[in-house]
Structure 1
Amino acid sequence: MKKIILTVITTTLGFSMLSGCSANEAASASVGVRPAFLVDQMQQSPLKEKLAQCSEGPFVRTDFSIGHRGAAMQFPEHTKESYLAAIRSGAGIVECDVTFTKDKQLVCRHSQSDLHTTTDVLAHPELAKKCTVPFTPANPLTGEKAKAECRTSDFTLAEFKTLKGKMDGANTMATSVEEYMQGTPKWRTDLYATNGTLMTHAESAALFKAHGVKATPELKSAVVEMPFNGFTQTMYADKLVNELKAAGFSAAETYLQSFDLNDIKHWVKNNPEFAQQAVFLDDRVFTDKNFKASLANMQELADSGVKIIAPPIYALLALNENGDIVPSDYAKYAKQAGLDMIAWSLERSGPLQGGGGWYYQTINEAIKDDGATMVILDVLAKQVGVIGVFSDWPATVTYYANCMDLK
């Protein structure tokens, strides 16, 4: 994928501030200290030596680095601040997960029903009472957990825009709203969560276009019954594409996403040009206990018009008889069927001591420390052959891609 250079002024935090230059002017990306920290954690190897030699840069933006919800490790996800952090750290493609409000306006949220954990909605009493499930405190005597569910479809766009994003999390044993909202995992931070600016999909598209990055919006599954007040699934899918076009995005600058194969097929039929880079997010590996990858089921996807497939990282990796991380059968069959692959999501699991958790479940035994992050990236890039990697901290992927001269 192509690299794009952007102008930065480095700050003491290891990030960068855009200097007001146009997206076409030459500049560099700032990756901060984390990538070098990860390299330092690696076991001695030729890969470590190679990566260590790149520590001084220079670094430029690359499409191999995809901002997952922006830069959600340290910034409130799907906020302007998170998106800018991803862009400044070299992500060439940035994601807005798309859902809709009560008045059928498209907004950036990972789920239609996550406002109670990703925003301050519960701190607004007049809005909190409109939630599908208003806050109910935990009962310490019985062990019953606190409850709340606030959906974007509970609110108009005007109401949505009064909210602020916060780090995703909730204290489920809270007896008050204030306690409930203090649920940030200890390996993340609230340092950059003081002013999370929520965005519509159209606003995110305009932001991405202004900064010269590509867009990868995901059409999220609705939790409300569709059609929603006359708003059908096809209207929803078409509205997303139309807003990208209105922002000036071409098909080549867009990677539409959906977990629903019917959405991909709809775009193939009705927006064939934009569907050329549509990404089928493959949840079969964790929703269907009987699923087993085969050349036949990968070829079936390709025949339906799918060009790019994106499963969780673990589906693309396996361990060989020596305990080395290698491409999985899934990855091999996808490649044989002519499918491009994107992996998700790096840097989302916290510290990797003890195996790394859900995202690495097929290779847990080979993961001993955070240095495994770079080994995993190397196998995904060189052996699996992915065309990009979603990451909650895009600087890590930017560093690797620049060091390996990935286009």
Structure 2
Amino acid sequence: MSPRLTAALLALLLVAGCKTTSHPQAKPMPPTSDNRTPPLVIGHRGASALRPEHTLESYRKAIEDGADLIEPDLVSTRDGVLVARHENEISGTTDVASRPEFTGRRTTRSIDGERVTGWFTEDFTLAELKTLRARERLPELRSTALDGRFEIPTLAEILDLAAAESAARGRVIGLAPELKHPTHFASLGLAMESRLLDALNAHPHTRTAPVVIQSFETANLRALRERIPRPSNLTLLQLYGDPNEKPFDTVAVGKPRSYASLATPEALREVATYADAIGPHYLAIAPRKAEDGTSRSPLVDAAHAAGLQVIVYTFRPENHFLPGDYRGTGGPAARHDAGSIRQIRDAIAVGIDGFFTDDPAVGRRAVDGD
């Protein structure tokens, strides 16, 4: 096992606070950033700055470029199969709108309280979805040369890929699956939590490899906590949206609660009763200079004080995604790797324990040294 992998596993293991029997080099460490363990590099939707997102090719590229974990967003088909799409509405990431046989599937429905028009995975069987092909979600920023070449992958295919790549490369590739719109899918009789756990527990790779299960909602994480005892190689990440946004499960039961209200020191201690880590946007960690001249983040410090790790999202090297001070020359689509590396290192300086990136090669350089 390489030193980099050992460090990555240590970082995830301190999220879980546990040992692993399959990787004896990985020792448990106290849940504190003072150890300065290198943060986890997580391939966000794979290497989505380089390949159409949520395709096996995107995940494979992320692994090739040094990601410690790959992130499949999970939605359900009509026949109850978990597949990887960022949203259940798929007109932006597949060729479904150009397929005359599916014209009649276009519809409008309420998703998490918002009216959305398009084509939805829950209206397709897996066999039907497999006839579609992925396309670039951001054609204004990235080439569309690979449009039409790749299928929508199932969770089972992604697990097999992670296992095969781990064996081939001699390092363990973890996963960070996100459950998308869990209240919506549960209302359709297509709840995803049990199917995810069953798949993870049944696959030899994910019975031991690091797995971080994410959700922007809270109730499903609380329910998962009851089924995933500590310690475990399966850990839970509470994602945070914009401060004024609300987890939809809290809205659905008539007890809306903003993400800002979940970020106070008291609330973070509550989150720590069911989650192992929080996942805020990088803007939320807002570095500040302490009296000793070091960079500090109130949110990171409060989370660590509550026993939570902090895994931020999402770094990407095009000017369009970089805050002003990190941008380079050229237009919105111009890449500025140096600026992205500097941005990531500024986040690392305040003690984050991991981060999502659309370009894991850039993230790897930020962690390992340029």
Question: TM-score category by the smaller chain?
Answer: 0.7 to 0.9
Query: 1:79, 1:203 → 2: CA distance?
Result: 10
| Aligned pairs (5 A) from 1:55-74 | 64-74=40-50
Q: TM-score, normalised by structure 1?
A: 0.68
> Which residue of 2 is the match for residue 108 of structure 1?
84
Deviation, structure 1 residue 269: 0.3
Structure 1 counterpart of 2:315, from 346, 357, 365: 346
- AA aligned to 2:174 is K
Structure 1 match to 2:361: 395
How far 1:334 moved relative to its partner?
Answer: 1.0
Alignment of 1:228-239 (within 5 A): 228=188, 230-231=189-190, 233=191, 236-239=192-195
Which residue of structure 2 lines up, in the alignment, with residue 84 of structure 1? 60
How far the C-alpha of 1:69 sits from its partner, in A, is 0.2
Which residue number in structure 1 is paired with residue 10 of structure 2?
none
Deviations 1:341-395 (A, max 9, x none): 11110007x315xxx46xx5xxx5x444333322221122232x22221111110
- Quote the RMSD (CA, aligned, Å): 3.0
Deviations 1:84-131 (A, max 9, x none): 111111112001111101111111011111x10000111211113212
Instruction: Say whether residues 1:291 and 2:267 are aligned partners.
Output: no
**Percent identical:** 26
1:129 aligns with 2:104: yes
What do the CA deviations read for 1:180-224 (whole angstroms, capped 9, x no partner)?
A: xxxx12x21123335122101111111111111111111111584
The aligned amino acid for 1:396 is V
Partner of 2:341: 374
Amino acid at match of 1:262: A
- Residue 143 of structure 1 corresponds to none
Q: What SS does the aligned partner of 1:344 have?
A: strand
Task: Return the match for 2:163 from 192, 202, 209.
Answer: 209
Q: Is the 8 A contact 1:342 1:387 kept in 2?
A: yes
The offset of 1:402, in angstroms, is 2.1
Query: What corresponds to 1:241 in structure 2?
Result: 197
Is residue 300 of structure 1 aligned with residue 270 of structure 2?
yes
1:186-205 alignment runs, 5 A limit: 187-205=141-159
1:227 corresponds to 2:202:
no
Gaps of 5+ in 1: 6-23, 25-61, 135-146, 170-183
After superposition, the Cα gap between the structure-2 partners of 1:396 and 1:325, relative to the gap in structure 1 and judged at 3 Å, is farther
Instruction: Give secondary structure in 2 for the equivalent of 1:332.
Output: helix
Q: Give the deviation of 1:133 after TM superposition.
A: 4.5
Give 1:36-185 correspondences, 5 Å limit: 64-113=40-89, 115-133=90-108, 148-169=117-138, 184-185=139-140
CA distance in 2, matches of 1:149, 1:2: 46
Q: Are 2:254 and 1:253 equivalent residues in the alignment?
A: no
Displacement of 1:81 after TM fit?
1.2
TM-score norm. by structure 2 comes to 0.74
Query: Does residue 270 in structure 1 map to residue 231 in structure 2?
Result: no
SS in 2 for 1:65: strand
Q: Which amino acid aligns with 1:218?
A: E
Specify the SS of the correspondent of 2:92.
helix
Separation of aligned partners in 1, 2:369 and 2:123: 46
> Could you tell me which amino acid in structure 2 is paired with residue 351 of structure 1?
N
Deviation at 1:305, TM superposition (A): 2.3
1:122–1:382 Cα change, 3 Å = same
Residue 82 (structure 1) shift? 0.8
Q: Is the 8 A contact 2:39 2:355 kept in 1?
A: no
Per mean C-alpha deviation after superposition, the further-off stretch among 336-345 and 326-335 is 326-335
Deviation per residue, 1:29-53 (Å, 9 max, x gap)? xxxxxxxxxxxxxxxxxxxxxxxxx
Contact 2:210 2:234 in 1 (8 A): no
Q: Which amino acid aligns with 2:196?
A: L
Cα deviations by residue, 1:123-147 (Å, 9 ceiling, x for unpaired): 211113212259xxxxxxxxxxxx9
C-alpha separation in 2, matches of 1:321 and 1:403: 25
User: Matched residue of 2:105: which SS?
Assistant: coil
Larger Rg computed on CA atoms: 1
Deviations, residues 138-177 of structure 1 (Å, cap 9, x unaligned): xxxxxxxxx95111011111000101100014xxxxxxxx
Which amino acid counterpart does residue 235 of structure 2 have in structure 1? Answer: Q
The answer (yes or no) to whether the contact 2:278–2:309 under 8 Å persists in 1 is yes
